[in-house]
Amino acid sequence: MYRGFALKEVFLETTHACNQRCRYCYLPDVGRSFKDELTTDEYKHLIIKLANEAKTVYLTFTGGEFFSRPDAIELLQAAEENNFCFSILTNGTLIDERTADALKEVMPFKIRVTLFAPDEDIHDNFTRLKGSYRSAVNGIRFLSERGIPVSITYPITSIANIEHFKAMGDLANSMGAVLEIGDRILPSRDKTCRKSILSYQLSQESYPLLNKWAEDYLRERNDCYLSEKDLEEKNRERLEKSITRLPCGAGVDTLAINPVGDIAACPMFLSEKIIGNIRKDDIIRLWDEAPFLKTLRSYDPAKRDKACKTCGVQDTCHVCVAQSYIENKDIYAPSIALCEEAKWMKEVKEYEKTLH
Ligand code: SF4
Ligand code: SF4
């Protein structure tokens, strides 16, 4: 294995099948299950290989909807038998009492259930699946009752208002779940990203309210609370100590694998830059030798600065090399989706200042 770069984490995007059709989903082809998805045995083989040869420690099981795979529990058992720390991203609707009992046996590190609003009608309208709110909330309760660590992932979208934030906090508390707030909408994983990223973004007036509420909420519950500024500082320190200058772990300590075994540096890269396939390539060799991973590991921020030197909103840009690649086939080129988001965020920050 390549010295200095350990494959710590693998995202297993096990299916694109999903019972919901959320108004915003970063998978452009959600609901289309592949004919030749990896089989149970292929996943087991992969899990054993990752444990024994790559010494990977962390797996994330996701979809589509992970629990729409009939072998979901069997895959988790394989992860547990091979001593993985693993989490699951799910819409929660398929977690009944029997599934929760089975999950207790394998004890995931965390199950993250997405809710779009603390309100049945709004949530169901967003997921376009009647009854999805009730099923998801029941699923969260079944998990919590069994002592399984569960969090509500709340992607804050244009449908949210300050009353929703508070109600979502209360809902999480009442069920013993941790609330995780996503204040950014990820671009859809294809070239329609421009439209999708801003159309569901929280309004500029609501954003400062959310920020303030989230800060108070988190500070109250968490002794180790770090403000946005603290986090920036920590990230800067991390990058200074790191052997790479890439702002994320794509291809540095992470890989992602789609339902048919295609391998990429992270889930976003799965749409545009496949580096191999587990059915025909040795994943360990790819990790050591794939030229594209070497390109990512030798990322040079100065090249980005050069490409973006006149934009004036660099301080609010969430640089994402995968997004740049999806749009331009170049990890250094400015991304239209990111530029629009950065300009939007700059305006929010300016507006925020007028409130003080
Ligand atoms: S539940 Fe997740 S995968 Fe399914 S449509 Fe919604 S966002 Fe997409
Ligand atoms: S991607 Fe766009 S917003 Fe971000 S730093 Fe480059 S030019 Fe500026």
pLDDT at 196: 54
Please check the confidence at residue 174 and state whether its pLDDT lies above 90: yes
Mean pLDDT to the nearest integer, 260-284: 96
Mean pLDDT to the nearest integer, 101-120: 97
Mean pLDDT to the nearest integer, 162-191: 86
For residue range 82-108, what is the model confidence (pLDDT) as tens digits? 999 999 999 999 999 999 999 999 999
The residue whose C-alpha atom lies closest to atom 3 belonging to ligand 1 is: 64
Position of tokens 């965020």?
345
What would the two tokens of residue 248 be? 């994320």
User: How far, in Å, is the centroid of ligand 1 from the Cα of 352?
Assistant: 32
Q: What would you report as the CA-atom Rg of the chain, rounded to the nearest whole angstrom?
A: 20
**Residue of 339, 341, 344, 345 best suited for mutating to test ligand 2, as the one with most atoms within 8 Å of CB:** 339
Q: Is 122 a pocket residue for ligand 2 (Cβ < 6 Å)?
A: no
| 88: phi then psi, degrees, rounded to nearest 5 | -130, 130
For residue range 51-89, what is the model confidence (pLDDT) as tens digits? 999 999 999 999 999 999 999 999 999 999 999 999 999
Distance CA 80, CA 288 (A): 26
For residue range 288-346, what is the model confidence (pLDDT) as tens digits? 999 999 999 999 999 999 999 889 999 899 899 999 999 899 999 999 888 988 998 89
Mean pLDDT to the nearest integer, 251-276: 96
- Report which bound ligand comes closest to the CA of 155: 1
The residue whose C-alpha atom lies closest to atom 2 belonging to ligand 2 is: 339
Out of 183-192, 204-213, 316-325, give the one with best mean pLDDT.
316-325
Mean pLDDT to the nearest integer, 248-262: 96
Mean pLDDT to the nearest integer, 13-23: 94
Mean pLDDT to the nearest integer, 1-10: 78
Q: CA dist 26 to 71, 216, 296, 319, 339, Å?
A: 24, 30, 23, 18, 18
Confidence of residue 234 (pLDDT cuts 50, 70, 90): confident
Mean pLDDT to the nearest integer, 158-172: 88
- Report which bound ligand comes closest to the CA of 33: 1
Percentage of the chain modeled with pLDDT above 70: 95
Percentage of the chain modeled with pLDDT above 90: 64
Mean pLDDT to the nearest integer, 277-289: 96
- Which carries the bigger pLDDT value, residue 232 or residue 139? 139
pLDDT at 3: 53
pLDDT at 1: 45
pLDDT at 242: 75
- Which carries the bigger pLDDT value, residue 344 or residue 171? 171
Q: CA dist 222 to 128, 145, 210, 250, 344, Å?
A: 34, 22, 17, 29, 30
CA-318 nearest atom, ligand 2: 4
Task: Judge contact between 24 and 196, C-beta under 8 A.
Answer: yes
Q: Which residues of 83-109 are buried (b: 16+ CB within 10 A; e: fewer)?
A: ebebbbbbbbbbbeeebbeebeebebe
pLDDT at 36: 94
Q: Is 311 a pocket residue for ligand 2 (Cβ < 6 Å)?
A: yes
Confidence of residue 19 (pLDDT cuts 50, 70, 90): very high
Average pLDDT, the chain: 90
